[in-house]
Amino acid sequence: MGRGWSPLNRVRESYALKLAIALVSVVALTVAVGALVQAQTADQLRDDVQGQLTSISESQAGELETWLSNVNRQTRVLSEHPTINAGDTYRKRAVLRDLIADDGVPEGVVAVHYYDADEQTIVTSSAEDFVGVNPARENAPFATSPPTFDDADDVHVSEPFHTSITDFPVVAVMSPVPDDPSKQIIFMVNIEERTQSLTGMVEGGSTVVVDSDGRYIVHPETDQLLTTHGDGADSPVVEQGLAGESGFIEGETSDETGEQMVLAYAPIDSTDWVVAVRVPESEAYALGATVTSNIVGLILIAVVSLGLVGVTVGSNTVISLRQLSEKARAMESGDLGVSLETTRRDEFGTLYDSFDRMRDSLRDQVRESERAREEAEKARERTEDARKEAEERREEAQALSTHLETKASHYEEVMNAAADGDLRVRVDTESKSDAMVAIGESLNEMLDDTERTVASVKRFSAHVSNAVVDVEDSAEEVMATGEEVSESVAEISAGATDQTEHLSEVADRMNDLSASAQEVAATVDEVAATSEQAAAAGELGREAAEDALAEMDAVETATERTVEEIEDLDAEMAAIGDIVEVITEIADRTNMVAINASIEAARSGANGDGFAVVAEEVKSLAEKTKESASDIEGRIERVQSKTSQSVEGMTETSQRVTAGIETVEGAIDALEEIAAYVEETDASIHEINDATESQAEASSAVVTMVDDVASISEETATQAEGVADAAEDQTQTLTSVSRDAEGLAERAAELSELLDDFTVAQGAGPTDDTDFEFAEVEES
Amino acid sequence: MDLTSVWFWLGTVGMAVGTLVPAKRLVTDRRYARYYAVLASVTAIATVAYLAMALGIGEIEVPGGSLFVPRYVDWLVTTPLLVLYLGMLCRPGKRVYAALVAVDIVVIGSGVVAGFLSAPYSYAAYLVGCVAYLGLLYLLLVTLPAQAADHGNRVVAVFTKLRNLTVVLWTIYPVVWILGPLGFGLLQVETDAMVVAYLDLISKVGFVVMAVNGADALDALRTGSPRAAASGAPARAR
C-alpha cells in the first residue's frame, strides 16, 4: 500500500482490473487471430483472382488468335479462288454471295468484297450496299494508307473503322489476288459481334483488346472503340503485351468510371494486339470484404459477450467482495452491529454466513473480556486498600526504627570504647524496644565475660610460652621416628614389588592349568559320546534278544501242542489195537467153526461135500482175517513206536527251546547289565566332565584372584611409596611444626605485650595458673 | 442469402420476450409501477422498432449504405429511458436527470446526423457524438455513484452492475458504427444488423432482466436505508 501508486500495484490490488485485463487480452487475441485469418484470406483471394483473370485473358487471347488466323486463312484461300482470279464480275459476285449465304465464313464476318486498290473501288461484294463504294471516302484505313503485300499469301488486318454503310465498327482483313495484286479480297468483320462474344466471360468484368498504339480494338462500350487506353503505347499493358508477356495489374483506375480495377492481360502472338480482362476491385474482392465483415462481426459478438460476462460475473464478485470487506473493516474498527445478510446462496452466501457467525462469536468474546476487565478492576481496588494499610504500618515501623537507631548509636559508642581497650564501660539498657533492652543486657554481660577472658588470656599467654619449648623438643623426636618409618616403608614397597612378580608367575601357571583342564574336558566329552554310542548299541542288542525270546516262546508253545496231539494219536492207536485183538479173536473162533463144519461135512459123506467147501472157504476167510488183523496190529505197533519216538523228539525239542529261552534271557540280562554299566559310565563321564569344567572355572577364578592379588600388591607397593612420601611430608610438617612452635612462642610474647594495653578491673578473672586451667575447662 | 431480416425478426422476438419480464412485475407489484413501466417501455419500443425494420419500413438510402430510421428512433427514446432508470436508482437532483437525458439525446442525434452526411462531415458528427458520450460516461461513472451510495449496499450493487453493463456495452456501439457500412465499411449491412441486434438485445433485455432481479434494492431506496447512510461507504467507480 505504501509503495506508492503504480499501475502494476493498482492491478495487483483490484480483482476488477485483473478481470478486465483478462477479458481485454482475450479480445485482443481474438482481434489478432481475426486479423491473421483476414490477411490470409485476402492473400489467398488475391492469388485466386489473379490466377483466374490471367487464365481467362490467356484463353481469350488464344481464342482470338485462332479466330483471327481462321479469318486470315479464309481470306487467302478465297483470294486464290479460280473464279476470283479469272472469272467475270458477275460470277465473282455469285461466289462471294454464296460464301456468305452458306455461312462458309468465320464467325463475325459480315461481308466479303472484291476490291480494286488502283481504282480505290469495291468492284463487287457479297453485300449490295458496298458495290462501287470508294473506301477512302469511308475513311477506311486500308484505302487511305494502303498496305503493301510481300507476296500473294500475305494477309493484312486493318484497324477498326466506322463506315456510313454499317452502324457498327468493322475490321478489314485483306489478301491480294495472286494474278493481279492490285485486286484484293476483303473480309469485313463486325468487331462488335466479336466483342460481345468475348465480354461477359467474367461476372462484372469485361474484356478489351488494344493494339500497339494502345487503342481499343475491342471494348464492351462501342463508343470507346479506337479511343486510347491509359497512356497509349506507353501503358504497361501494351508494353508488356507487345513483349509477348502476359501479366496482372492491380489498382488501375478505369478510364470510364474512375473505379479501381484489377486487370490481366495476354498478347495475341500473330498480331500486335493485347487482350486484357478487367474487373472492378470491389467485384473481384467481394468475397474478401464479406469474410472481413464476418470476422469483424464475430469479434464484436465475442466482445459483447465477454463484456456481458465480465459485467455480470465481475461486477457481482467485485461488489460483493468490496461490500464484505467494508463490513469486515467496520467490524475491525469495533462496529459489530453491521448487517451481514445476503440473498445469495452461492459461495458468497456461504462467506457472508461465515462472517456472520464469526461476528457473533467475536461479540460473545468481547462481552466476555469486558466482564473479565470489570472483575480485574474490583480486584485492583481491593489491592489499593491493602496498600494503604501497609503504609500505616510502615510509618509506625519508621518511628520505631528512629528510636532503635539512637539506641544503636549509643551502643556503638560503648562498643567502640570497649574496642579501644577500655573493658570497664557498660551500656544504658533502658529502651522502648524489649529487644534492645535484651541486646544491652547481653552486651553488658559480654563485656563482663570479655573482661574476664582477657585477664585469663593474659595468663594463658605466659603459660603458652613455656609449653612451646616442650613442643619443639617433642617435634624433633617425632621427626627422627618419622625417618625410621620412611625406611621401613621403602622395604615394604620392595617386598610388595617382589610379591607382584611372583603372583604374575602363579597367574601364568594357573592359566596353563586352566588350559589343560579344558583339554581334559574336551577328551571327556569325546569319551562320553562313545559311551552313549555303546549304550545305544546295547539297547539295540537287547531289543533283538527280546524279539528272539518271543519267537522261542511261540516255538515252545507249538511244540507242546504237537506233543499233546501225538499223545492223543497214541491213545487212538491203542484203541485200534484193542479192536484188532477182538477181530483176531473172532477170526480164531470162526476158524474153529469152520474146522468143526468141515469135520461134520466129512461125516455126512457125499452130501456133505458142498458143505465142506463152504466150511473150507470160511476157514480160509478166517485165516485171512487173522492175518490182516495181525498185519494191522504190527502196523499199529510200528506207528506207536514211531509216535513214542516223536514224542521223545518233541520233548527234547521242547527242552532245547526252554534251554534256548534261558540262554536268551541270560543274554538279555547281560545286555541290560551292559546298558546299566554304560549308563553308569556315562554318568561318571558327565561327572568327570562337570568336575573338569568346574576345575577349569576354578582355575580361571584362581587366575582372576591371583590377578586381583597382584593388583592389590601393586597397589600396596604404590601405597607404600605413598606412605613413604607421607612420612617424608610428615617429617617436613614436623619441621614446620617446630618452626611454628617457635613462631608461637614469639606470638605468645607479642600477645603478652598487646594484652598489656587492656585495662582490666582489679580482681577480674583467675589470678594464677591453676585458676586459669579451671577457667579454661569452664569455658569449653 | 440475405440474413438481415432474419436478425431483425430475432431481435423482435427477443425484445418481446424481454418485455414480458417487467410487464409481469408491473401487474403483480404495483408499489414500483413507475420503475417497471420504464423498464417495460424500453423493450416494448425496441420490439416495435425491430418489427418495423423486419417488415422493411423506414429504410433510407444514404451515402455509403442504408439507414434504418426505426433503429435511431428506438435509440432516441429508449436510451434516455435506460439512463433515466439508472438515475432513478440514485435519486439525483433534477439537473442531473436533465443533463443525463440531454447528453444522451446529443449522442444518438449526432449518430443520426452522421448517417445522413457523407464522408468527411459524417466523421465530424461522429466525433461530436463521441465527445457527448464521454460526458455521459462522466455522469454515469462519477456523478451518479456518489448519489447511489446514500441508499445502501444493495442499491449500490444493483446500480453498479447495471451501470457497468451500460457503460461496457454502449462503448461498443460507436465502434460498431465506425466499422459499419456508414463508417469504414468493414462490416457489411448484414453483419452490421446481426451485431447491432445482439448488442441491442444484451443492452436492453439484459439490462431489464438484471434490473428486475435487483428490484429488492428498491425497498432500500424507499425506506431511505438509514444504516447505509451511517456507514457512508463511498462506492468507487470501477
Task: Give the residue-averaged pLDDT of A743-751.
Answer: 74
Q: Does B46 touch chain A (CB under 8 A)?
A: no
The Cβ-side half-sphere exposure at A365, using a 13 Å CA radius, reads: 8
Instruction: Please indicate whether residue A179 or residue A586 has the higher confidence score (pLDDT).
Output: A586
Tens digit of pLDDT for each residue in A500-509?
788 778 878 8
Tens digit of pLDDT for each residue in A672-704?
888 788 788 878 877 877 887 777 787 777 778
Tens digit of pLDDT for each residue in A717-739?
787 777 777 777 777 777 777 77
Using a CB-CB cut-off of 8 Å, the residues of chain A touching B160 are: 315, 319
Number of other residues whose CB lies within 10 A of the CB of residue A208: 25
A595 domain-assigned = yes
- Nearest partner of B16 among B54, B68, B73, judged by Cα: B54
Q: How many domains, chain A?
A: 2
Using a CB-CB cut-off of 8 Å, the residues of chain B touching A297 are: 187, 191-192, 194-195
Please answer whether residues B208 and B42 qualify as being in contact, where contact means their C-beta atoms are separated by less than 8 angstroms: yes
Count Cβ atoms within 10 A of the Cβ of residue A628 and give its class: 0-12 exposed, 13-18 middle, 19 or more buried.
Answer: middle
Count Cβ atoms within 10 A of the Cβ of residue B226 and give its class: 0-12 exposed, 13-18 middle, 19 or more buried.
Answer: exposed
A147 domain-assigned = yes
Per-residue confidence (pLDDT) for residue B231, from 0 to 100: 39
Per-residue confidence (pLDDT) for residue A462, from 0 to 100: 66
Per-residue confidence (pLDDT) for residue A32, from 0 to 100: 92
Sign, Cα dihedral of A446, A451, A452, A455: positive
Q: Do A311 and B168 touch (CB under 8 A)?
A: yes
pLDDT at A458 over 80: no
Q: What is the pTM of this model?
A: 0.51
- Which of A279, A296, A313 lies at the terminal end of a domain, its last residue? A296
A166 domain-assigned = yes
Per-residue confidence (pLDDT) for residue A376, from 0 to 100: 93
Q: Does B206 touch chain A (CB under 8 A)?
A: yes
Binned at pLDDT 50, 70 and 90, residue A761 comes out as low
Asked which of A113-127, A154-168, A670-684, A755-769 is least confident by mean pLDDT, the reply is A755-769
Binned at pLDDT 50, 70 and 90, residue A4 comes out as low
Per-residue confidence (pLDDT) for residue B44, from 0 to 100: 92
pLDDT at A664 over 60: yes
Please answer whether residues B45 and B79 qualify as being in contact, where contact means their C-beta atoms are separated by less than 8 angstroms: no
Per-residue confidence (pLDDT) for residue A763, from 0 to 100: 62
Separation in Å, CA of B199 to nearest CA in chain A: 7
Tens digit of pLDDT for each residue in A41-61?
888 988 988 888 888 888 888
Binned at pLDDT 50, 70 and 90, residue B233 comes out as very low
Average predicted confidence (pLDDT) for chain A: 79
CATH number, residue A193:
3.30.450.20
- Which phi and psi angles does B57 have, rounded to 5°? -90, 135
Task: Give the residue-averaged pLDDT of A13-39.
Answer: 87
Highest-scoring range by mean pLDDT, A5-9, A141-145, A393-397, B178-182 = A393-397
Using a CB-CB cut-off of 8 Å, the residues of chain B touching A339 are: 227
pLDDT at A256 over 70: no
Between CA A340 and CA A469 the distance in angstroms is: 109
Tens digit of pLDDT for each residue in B22-32?
888 888 888 88
Q: Does A320 touch chain B (CB under 8 A)?
A: yes
Per-residue confidence (pLDDT) for residue A276, from 0 to 100: 83
Between CA B217 and CA B215 the distance in angstroms is: 5
Q: Do A315 and B164 touch (CB under 8 A)?
A: yes
Using a CB-CB cut-off of 8 Å, the residues of chain B touching A310 are: 168
Sign, Cα dihedral of A683, A687, A689, A690: positive
Q: Does B172 touch chain A (CB under 8 A)?
A: yes
- Distance (Å) of CA A119 to CA A81, A88, A135, A249, A306: 21, 17, 10, 47, 87
Between CA A528 and CA A532 the distance in angstroms is: 6
Q: Do A300 and B176 touch (CB under 8 A)?
A: yes
Tens digit of pLDDT for each residue in B100-123?
889 999 999 998 888 888 778 888
Per-residue confidence (pLDDT) for residue B228, from 0 to 100: 39
**Residues 173-202 in B contacting A (C-alpha not used; CB under 8 Å):** 175-176, 179, 185-188, 190-192, 194-195, 198-199, 202
| DSSP-derived secondary structure for A370-419 | HHHHHHHHHHHHHHHHHHHHHHHHHHHHHHHHHHHHHHHHHHHHHHHHHH
Tens digit of pLDDT for each residue in A283-327?
777 888 888 888 888 888 988 898 888 888 887 788 778 778 888
Chain B residue with minimum CA distance to A311: B165
Give the three cell numbers for residue A334.
469495533
Tens digit of pLDDT for each residue in B131-181?
999 999 998 888 888 777 777 777 788 888 888 889 988 998 888 888 888
Count Cβ atoms within 10 A of the Cβ of residue B199 and give its class: 0-12 exposed, 13-18 middle, 19 or more buried.
Answer: buried
Using a CB-CB cut-off of 8 Å, the residues of chain B touching A289 are: 185, 188
CATH number, residue A617:
1.10.287
* Cell 477512302 sits on residue: A136
Per-residue confidence (pLDDT) for residue B222, from 0 to 100: 61
Using a CB-CB cut-off of 8 Å, the residues of chain B touching A296 are: 179, 186-187, 191
A467-483 per-residue burial string, b: 16 or more CB within 10 A, e: under 16:
ebeebbeebeeebeebe
Helix A286-309 × helix A15-79 angle, to 10°: 170
- Which of A271, A296, A321 lies at the terminal end of a domain, its last residue? A296
Tens digit of pLDDT for each residue in A477-514?
777 777 777 777 778 777 777 887 887 788 788 778 77
Binned at pLDDT 50, 70 and 90, residue A378 comes out as very high
Q: Does B225 touch chain A (CB under 8 A)?
A: no
User: Best residue in B86, B188, B199, B210 to probe A by mutation, most A CBs within 10 Å?
Assistant: B188
Radius of gyration for the alpha carbons in chain A, expressed in angstroms and rounded? 86
Third-level CATH fold of B4-231: Rhopdopsin 7-helix transmembrane proteins (1.20.1070)
Between CA A44 and CA A260 the distance in angstroms is: 20
Binned at pLDDT 50, 70 and 90, residue B17 comes out as very high
CA angle B163, B166, B170 (to 5 degrees): 150
Percent helix / strand / coil, chain A, rounded to 5: 75, 10, 15
Q: What is the ipTM of this complex?
A: 0.85
Q: Do A300 and B190 touch (CB under 8 A)?
A: no
pLDDT more than 90, % of chain A = 4
Binned at pLDDT 50, 70 and 90, residue A1 comes out as very low
Chain B residue with minimum CA distance to A296: B187
Per-residue confidence (pLDDT) for residue B106, from 0 to 100: 92
Task: Give the residue-averaged pLDDT of B198-220.
Answer: 85
Q: Do B191 and A297 touch (CB under 8 A)?
A: yes
Alpha helices by DSSP H, listed for A119-255, are 141-144, 191-198, 236-242
State the residue range of the domain holding A699: 436-755
A587 domain-assigned = yes
Chain A residue with minimum CA distance to B233: A326
Q: Do A339 and B186 touch (CB under 8 A)?
A: no
Q: Do B165 and A293 touch (CB under 8 A)?
A: no
Per-residue confidence (pLDDT) for residue B237, from 0 to 100: 35
pLDDT at B6 over 50: yes
User: Best residue in A300, A306, A332, A333 to probe B by mutation, most B CBs within 10 Å?
Assistant: A300
Using a CB-CB cut-off of 8 Å, the residues of chain A touching B86 are: none
Q: Do B238 and A318 touch (CB under 8 A)?
A: yes
Alpha carbon of residue B137 to chain centroid:
13
Q: Do A338 and B231 touch (CB under 8 A)?
A: yes
Please answer whether residues A34 and A298 qualify as being in contact, where contact means their C-beta atoms are separated by less than 8 angstroms: yes
Per-residue confidence (pLDDT) for residue B232, from 0 to 100: 37
A308 domain-assigned = no
Per-residue confidence (pLDDT) for residue B134, from 0 to 100: 93
Radius of gyration for the alpha carbons in chain B, expressed in angstroms and rounded? 18
Please answer whether residues A43 and A75 qualify as being in contact, where contact means their C-beta atoms are separated by less than 8 angstroms: no
Tens digit of pLDDT for each residue in B39-90?
899 999 999 999 998 888 888 877 667 788 888 899 989 998 988 888 888 8
Q: What is the DSSP letter of A14?
A: -
**How many CB contacts within 8 angstroms connect chain A with chain B?**
81
A11 domain-assigned = no
pLDDT at A522 over 70: yes
Q: Do A315 and B160 touch (CB under 8 A)?
A: yes
Please answer whether residues A161 and A140 qualify as being in contact, where contact means their C-beta atoms are separated by less than 8 angstroms: yes
Tens digit of pLDDT for each residue in A643-659?
888 888 888 888 888 88
Q: Which among A303, A314, A320 has the least Cβ separation from residue B172? A: A303
Number of other residues whose CB lies within 10 A of the CB of residue B159: 29
Using a CB-CB cut-off of 8 Å, the residues of chain B touching A16 are: 238
Task: Give the residue-averaged pLDDT of A586-592.
Answer: 85
- Which of A242, A276, A296 lies at the terminal end of a domain, its last residue? A296
Task: Give the residue-averaged pLDDT of A104-122.
Answer: 82
pLDDT at B189 over 50: yes
A287 CB contacts (<8 Å, ≥6 apart)? A45
Binned at pLDDT 50, 70 and 90, residue A552 comes out as confident
Q: Does B169 touch chain A (CB under 8 A)?
A: yes
Between CA B92 and CA B147 the distance in angstroms is: 6
